[in-house]
Amino acid sequence: MIRLIRIFTNIFLCFIVRAYHKIEKMTEKELKAQQQYLLNLKIIERKTKKPLIFGLIGLVGSGKTSVAKELAPLIGATIVEGDKIRVELRKQNEKYEGARKIAENIAEKIIENGGNVVFDSDHIDSKKRASLKEKAKKFGAKVIFIRVYSDFDVMIGRIVNNVYKENQEDFFGGAHTVWEGVNRGAVVKDREMICRMLSHYKAVYNGNSRYKFVIKKLPFNIFAEVDTTKENKWKQEVKMIAGQIRSRY
């Protein structure tokens, strides 16, 4: 019964996404932001037989960007950086709603020019995943999802220890917040992590008035999981995953 519900849900999402793609248009500012991003883009030749698009699944601080940087050269992929797209939109005084459209358009350009794509932004949202799959079909690429996670305290520690520069190039450091103290970027990043936390984790009572956060089982298929808690371990995991990808695709 649960499997049937998932099938019908996926069919419904695909229908909605197809209808939405037909009517969505880009504003002049979004087009300018996209063009500026493309001007600074260096496409890496893919090392797989088939064109692939990787969507990462993970919270802020989980290590998605680090995993993307480690994986990309091993499979011949170009990273599409969500935060940099938003910075370009901010420069144009435009809202962030167009970031997904721009990211998907850039992915299409990369595939057309012989590369693979790694998105370093979180794809936990079902509509975002459905949109990516629908677009990928049009240019003959396969979408693969990889989950990235870490010990919860480690994720918080990464955010706290990260020093953000207060300039326009830093997405989180330049984002809006009423906090006027130091580390504005860390404050915004913490806020983003809290907002998305329940999509990735559930709280389980551990006794003595304490709760622990347990990672949720995902309702969709993923290729692999990477635990970034220990650096010397996760990099080896990524190398192994890259080898599996090259041999399979």
Strands (E), the chain: 52-57, 77-80, 116-119, 142-149, 201-207, 210-215, 224-227
Q: pTM to 2 decimals? A: 0.81
Lowest mean pLDDT among 28-37, 86-95, 190-199: 190-199
pLDDT over threshold 60, residue 108:
yes
- Report DSSP letters for 215-240, one per residue: EPPPSS--SEEEE-SSHHHHHHHHHH
pLDDT of residue 165: 46
pLDDT over threshold 90, residue 76:
yes
- The structure tokens listed for 56 are 């990462």
- pLDDT range class, residue 66, cuts 50, 70, 90: very high
More confident residue, 95 or 53: 53
pLDDT of residue 156: 82
With CA atoms as reference, report the closest residue to 66 among 79, 54, 76, 53. Answer: 79
pLDDT of residue 190: 76
pLDDT over threshold 80, residue 179:
no
Contact 53, 119 (CB under 8 A): yes
pLDDT of residue 232: 81
Burial (Cβ within 10 Å: 0-12, 13-18, ≥19) of residue 35: exposed
Q: Give me the domains of the chain, ranges plus CATH numbers.
A: 19-150+219-248 (3.40.50.300)
Lowest mean pLDDT among 9-23, 215-229, 230-244: 9-23
**Phi-psi group of 79: left, alpha or beta (phi > 0 → left; psi -120 to 50 → alpha; rest → beta):** beta
